[in-house]
Structure 1
Amino acid sequence: MIPLARLKAFALLASLCVFSLPSPSLAEVTLSHSNDPEQALGFELTALLNQERAGFEHADADAIERLLASFKPKPKTSAAKAPKTLEYSKSFLESLPKASGDAEWQCLSEALYFEARGESVKGQFAVAEVILNRVKSGAFPNTICGVVHQGTGKKYQCQFTYTCDGHAEAIHEPAAFTQVGKVARLMIDGAPRALTQGATHYHTRAVNPRWARQFAKTAQIGVHMFYRMPQA
C-alpha cells in the first residue's frame, strides 16, 4: 500500500504538472449540460488522468524527490531543559553544560566574578539575587548591565567597586568565570531567589557602611552581609 504522504505528494505534483504542461485546452473536458452528467464526468476524469500521466513522464526526477522529501516527518528537537532541582554546590554546577548568553548574562557573570568568585556557591547565588532584586526594584536601573554599572565613571562613586576602582577588569581565572557564568545563567533563566529575602544591598564584614544601620538585615552568607532597602 502506498503511504498517504506519498499519495499526497503525487497528487500535488500532478496538479502542478497539469497547469504547467502545454497539453490540450481544459475546454475539451468542460462539462456540457447537454450530455449525460455521469458520462461527461467520466470523460473529464479520463482526460485529467492522461494529463497527469504525461506530467509525470516530463517531470524532473530531482523535483519529485524534493517534493517527496517535503512530506517526510521532521525529527523532533529536544529543547534544553532547566534543572528540576537547584543545589548550591560545585558538583551541581560542574554537572551543567558551559553557559553563555547575551550582554546581560555577560554583565552578571562579570559582577559575580569580581565581587564573589572567592565566595561559596551559595554566596555567589546570593550576590546574583541582589543584582536581580535591584533590576526588579524601581529605585535602580531596569537592566542587569544598568544596575552593575550604575555610577561607573567616578572613582569609588559606583555601586559595585570593581567597576570604578581604577583597575583593569581582566579575567585571570577562567575556571572561576565558567562557574559564575553558570550561576548567572541559572538566575537569569528564573532560578528561585530564596537566600536573601529580597535583599538589595550587601557588604563584607570588613566594612560598616552607614546605610547598614537603616536597612533591615536579611542574611549573612560567607563574608557578605545582606540587607533590604526600605520601600517607599
Structure 2
Amino acid sequence: MIRSIALAVVAVVAIGTTASANESSEDYSERRAAAAQPEYSLDAAFDGTIDLSQVYAISAPTGNTGGRFSTKTAPIGHTLRLNGQVTPDTNIGALAVPTTLEGSNSLTCLAVAIYHEARNQSEFGQRAVASVILQRAAVKGRWGSKPCDVVVPVQFSFMLTRYTFEAITERDAWQRSVAVARATLAIGPLPELQGADHYHTTGVNPGWASRIILVRQIGDHKFYVDPSSRTGRTS
C-alpha cells in the first residue's frame, strides 16, 4: 500500500553576514547559497497541498530513513540529478506544448489530461485527476497499463481522435500541469482517494455514479471507486 505523505518544510537556520575565522571566502559563499535554498521532506499523513510550481523531481529514499522521501527544487526545464545537482534538460520534448499523443511518454499524456480536465482546479484537485489515471493504469486488464493507454477518446472527451486533442493555448497552465504530472508519477495515486478510479464534474450525473462508491468531492469533481476494479470483475 502506498503511504500517505505530507510536506514538512525544514527551517533554514539564519547565518551571519560575515564568514567565520576559519572559513574561506569561497566556502562562505557556498554556505550562504545553500542556506538560501529551502529543503522539503515528504513524510507521515498528507492532508493539504504542495506548491509544485518549482518541484521537478523526487528522489528515492536514502539511508535508514524509514521510507521518507526528500525533495529538492529545480526550475522548469531543468532536471534534478540523484547527486543533488540541477542541470538543464537535454531533451525537453515532454515539456514542449504537444499537438499529438502519438509516441508520447507517460509524463506528456498525464500532463495533457491534467491540463484539459483540471487546469481550473486547485493543485490538490489536479493531483486527484492525475491519481485516477494512474489508478486506472494499475488495474490489470481493464483500461490499460500506462497513462497513455488510459488517456483515450472513450475515457476522455477532450480527446478528438486516438492521438489528437483540443489545442493547448495557456502556456502557464500547461507548465503547471507538467509539474503536477511529474510529481504524481513519482509519488503514485493519492492515498486520500482510497483507490478512486472514476470521477465526474458536479455539473453532470452519469448513470454509473449510482453503481459505485463515492469517495469524496474535490473542487468541481466527485471521485468514486469501483469495487469491481479490486475483484477483477467489471460491470
Q: TM-score, normalised to structure 1's length?
A: 0.56
- Are 2:182 and 1:143 equivalent residues in the alignment? no
User: Secondary structure at the residue paired with 1:94?
Assistant: coil
Q: CA deviation at 1:226?
A: 0.4
Name the CA distance, whole Å, in 2 between partners of 1:109 and 1:192.
15
> Structure 1 residue 124 and structure 2 residue 112: aligned?
no
Are 1:95 and 2:98 matched, yes or no?
no
Question: CA offsets, 1:54-99, max 9 Å, x none?
Answer: xxxxxxxxxxxxxxxxxxxxxxxxxxxx95237624xx21232326
Structure ID, larger Rg: 1
- Hey, what's the Cα distance between the residues in 2 that align with 1:83 and 1:215? 37
1:163 maps to 2:159: yes
Superposition misfits of 4+ residues, deviation over 2 angstroms? 82-87, 94-97, 99-102
**What displacement does 1:187 show?**
1.2
Q: 1:218 matched to which residue of 2?
A: 215
Alignment of 1:114 onto 2:116? yes
Structure 1 residue runs of 5 or longer lacking an equivalent are 1-81, 153-157
Q: Which residue of 1 aligns with 2:182?
A: 185
What is the percentage of aligned positions where both structures have the same residue?
Answer: 36
Indicate which of 84, 94, 100 corresponds to 2:41. Answer: 84
Q: TM-score, normalised by structure 2?
A: 0.55
CA shift, 1:191, in A, is 4.6
The Cα shift of 1:230 comes to 1.7
The alpha-carbon deviation at position 168 of structure 1 amounts to 5.1
2:117 and 2:203 map into 1 onto residues whose CA distance is 14
How many angstroms apart in 2 are the aligned matches of 1:123 and 1:190?
15
Q: Please name the residue that 1:15 is paired with.
A: none
Give ranges in structure 2 of 5+ residues lacking alignment.
Answer: 1-38, 56-73, 78-91, 95-103
- Name the CA distance, whole Å, in 1 between partners of 2:150 and 2:188: 19
Number of corresponding residues: 142
Question: Higher helix share goes to which structure?
Answer: 1
**What CA RMSD, in Å, does the superposition of the two structures yield over aligned residues?**
2.5
